[in-house]
Each structure stands twice: as structure tokens, then as C-alpha cells.
Chain A
Amino acid sequence: MKLRSRHLLALEGMSKDEITLILDTAETLKEILARPIRIVPTLRGVGVVNLFYEASTRTRISFELAEKRLSAEVVNFSASTSSVKKGETLKDTVRNIEAMKIDMVVVRHQASGVPYFLTQCMKASIINAGDGAHEHPTQGLLDVFTVREKYKRIKGLKVVIVGDIKHSRVARSDIWGFTALGADVSVCGPTTMLPLEIEKMGVKAYSDLDQALEGADVVNVLRIQLERQRGSLLPSLREYSNKFGITRDRLNRLNQNFTIMHPGPINRGVEITPEVADGPHSVILDQVTNGVAVRMAVLYLLSGGEGKVE
């Protein structure tokens, strides 16, 4: 069993077996994080660039730790402190980076499709760390991993994703990931934030939160991305939190053993109240811990050479 592509651009189109391979590998690698020396020599001599054109705390640190714990050689790039400021194009930037002998590129960019573009202009393996409103595949994988770790299955669980579905790459990766493994996925948000024909992705769409939460096992609360709002999709944040904010009172409709997730960063009091975010059903910090293991698995599985098998 191996991954079909040497890049990780999206969860769309990935088979159940491929996703399961990544999750199983992550489960094994998670044990390393509990060792006295949390580092293995697997990717010694492999050069990885973290190419971040957008701000990030979790994803960037998580990737960097995953790379370092596999002994890769890590270089960090952020657009704000580079020659991008002097007008260098993306293509020139990556071709120069590649000229310095790089094997893998982890890229985050505000434009959808940039990771694919990089596969066309460089030889390195490309890992998408979030591109525009397209996908954030490692976040999708760590969300599925966290839920699978808790329930020991994905099939048949009812997963509700709440928030700005239209602008959310996390929502898209989660939808592909959870549906590939057989979960029953719904999305919920103001109609201005639900893409047209979202049902074609195999999900149910609601604009009434209480209706969406009926019988749910997992609620993934998305951040309201103030930086991506163009025009007026929302009358006010206060109205949003009244209608779509996750509060303790709303959670009575869920199954007993429900789970609250959030990809971070949290706008406390807007999409989720602090008592829910920090409450006993929240796995928000487990998601962060698991992120490192999942990214280690992706780096490991994509780093194979071209030599013979056994």
C-alpha cells in the first residue's frame, strides 16, 4: 500500500485506503512524541522549506516540529520578511529555493491552487498547508484522526461543521476526509456563507443551527474569518453569535458522548463560548497534539526515494 501521489494537495479524490494509511502511520508515530528523546533519524538529509505566504501559528509550528522530529533539515520562509516585498514572483522565489537543493515544500498561500502550480514548476514534493478557500488537507486529516482516536471509528458518525463554509478550506478538507471514511456530514451557517450546490459534495446543508445539531456526535466549529470577508455577508458579529454561536444551552440536542472541535484560532465569544471551548467535551488541544503526528506521517509517506522495493 502506498500513496498514489508524491504530493499532498487535497483530500478530494483520496481513497479511503490512502487516508487510512496516513492515519495508521500517524497513530504509530504518535508514540515517538512520548519518548524521552522525541526524535528519530528517518528524514536525515532531506531538505524541507516551509513557505508561508500567510500568517499561521499552529500549522507552521506543527509542521516545523514534525519535520524536526523526523530529523529533516528545515528552512523557514515567510513572505513578509523576504524578497517578495521587493516584488519577486512566486515562480522565481521557488525556483531559487529549489536551486539550493530542496526535497519537499510545505506551502501556505492566500490563493487557491498555488500548491498545484508549484508541482508544475519544481521537482520537490509539495504539501499543501492551506491554499485560499480550497483545502487544508493536513487539518482535515488531523480532524479525522482525532475523532477516530476517540470513537475508534468514523463510519456512521454524525459530523456537523458550523460557520463560514464558503470561505473555509478546513470545511472542504473535512468534508472530503470524513465522507471518504463513511461519516454522515452536515454543514451549517448563514445562507450567505453556504456555497451554492454544496450538497453535491455529499453533505446536508442547514441554516438553522438547532436543526443541524439534532443527534450530532461531532461539532466542528469554524472560525469567523474576518480577514476573508468581502462585502457584507453578516449584519453583525453579535447577530452571528446569537444565531450560530455554540453555547452550552445549544448542546442539549447532541448525543451524550459528543465532541467539540475547532481548528483555531478561536474568536472567544463569537463562534464559541469559552465555557464550551474549554469544557470537558472539547478536543481542541488534542487536535493540536495530533497535528504533529499526522504531519510526521505525511512527511514520512511522501519522502520515499526512487530506488528498488526491498
Chain B
Amino acid sequence: MPKKQKIVLVMDAKAVERALIRVAHEMVEKNKGAENLAVIGIKTRGAYLAERIAKLIEQIEKVKIPVGLMDITLYRDDIQTKLEQPVVQKTEVLFDVVDKVIVLVDDVLFTGRTIRAALDQIIDFGRPKNIQLAVLVDRGHRELPIRADYVGKNIPTAKDDRVNVKITEVDKEDSVSIIKQ
């Protein structure tokens, strides 16, 4: 018998928007402008967040920054233990990463394994000046020594909770909720 689930809404559309605006400002502040900045979003939802952050930075700084999209399937550390191979999506990094400040963007930071895979993949594209990490939600329970530079919201969770991020481009609305098992 499945246990009763409890769904708690932690961010609505307004809260997501405010968090992204703050994160965009923090990026510009920390890097003293956006001259050498580029963002790379991790598919699926991180890619849309990266595009939004790039647009926000363009509004703030009046410079267009390059946006890349990355699928990390081929760099996963559990690929040979899965029964069914995950679908590989396109990776599109159409700019030179060498000597750029790259901000990786993802929706949820959990074990850190996805970020490890993304870091390895970026370094195979070239040697950036540095790599930073922005996430909409940090839910804790890291399994690797990885932390985010920009966090939309820290949300304490139990390990078996599920964090459900919805993004308008895919899910018709912006929201973050926790599904408690």
C-alpha cells in the first residue's frame, strides 16, 4: 500500500521570479559586471532557468551573454546500473568556454552527482576561467563535496521527500513544492 503523500507548496510563481531576479543581481555583483560571463543550463528545467537568468542579466547590464544547454546523461556515474538507458538529449554549447566565467544553472541541488557530471563535461569543452553554480532550490543531502554560489531558496527536506519544480515552459506554471512520503 502506498503511504499517504503530503504536498507542501514552498514557492509560487512570484517567489520563483523574485529569487531569479536576486540571483541574476548576485551574479553581476560577484563578477563585477557580465562582460566575461556565460550561463549553461542543465536539461531539462535548468536550461529554461538559464535562459531566463541570461535575459535578466541583459536587462540589468545591457549586455547579451551566451547561453548553453547541457544534457549530462553520458557523464552519469550510474549509467551501467540502470535497466533502461535514459534518453540522451542534445547538448548545445555553441560558444568557446575557454577563459569564460561559466555559471551552471540547475533547478534542484540534491546529491551533487548531476553537477559533478556537468563539471566534467564542461571541462571536456575547454578550460574556463572559473565555474560557478546557481540553483533555484538547495534541498541538502549532498553525497559529494559540492556547494552552490547562488541559491534561490534553501529548503530543508527529508532524504526521501521529493522536490517538484514546475517551470512554465514545460509545466505551464512556475512553482516549487515538496512531496512528503
Contact = CB atoms under 8 A, between A and B. Distances in A.
A40 B74 contact: yes
B126 A36 contact: yes
B9 interface: no
Interface in A11-56: 24-25, 28-29, 31-32, 35-37, 39-43, 45-46
6 contacts: A31-B91, A35-B125, A36-B124, A300-B85, A303-B80, A306-B83
A2 interface: yes
Given A40-B121, A309-B82, 18 more contacts: A2-B84, A25-B87, A25-B88, A28-B71, A31-B91, A36-B126, A39-B124, A41-B74, A42-B79, A46-B80, A300-B85, A304-B80, A305-B83, A307-B81, A308-B82, A308-B83, A309-B84, A310-B82
A31 B90 contact: yes
Contacts, number: 71
Interface string A261-287: 000000000000000000000000000
Contacts of A310: 82
A99 interface: no
Contacts of B80: 43, 45-46, 303-305
Nearest to A41: B75
B89 interface: yes
Contacts of B90: 28, 31
B120 interface: yes
Given A36-B125, A45-B80, A305-B82, A300 B87 contact: no
Interface size band for A: 20 to 34
Interface size band for B: 20 to 34
B78 to A, nearest CB: 8
A1 B87 CA distance: 8
Contacts of A41: 74-75, 120
Contacts of A39: 124
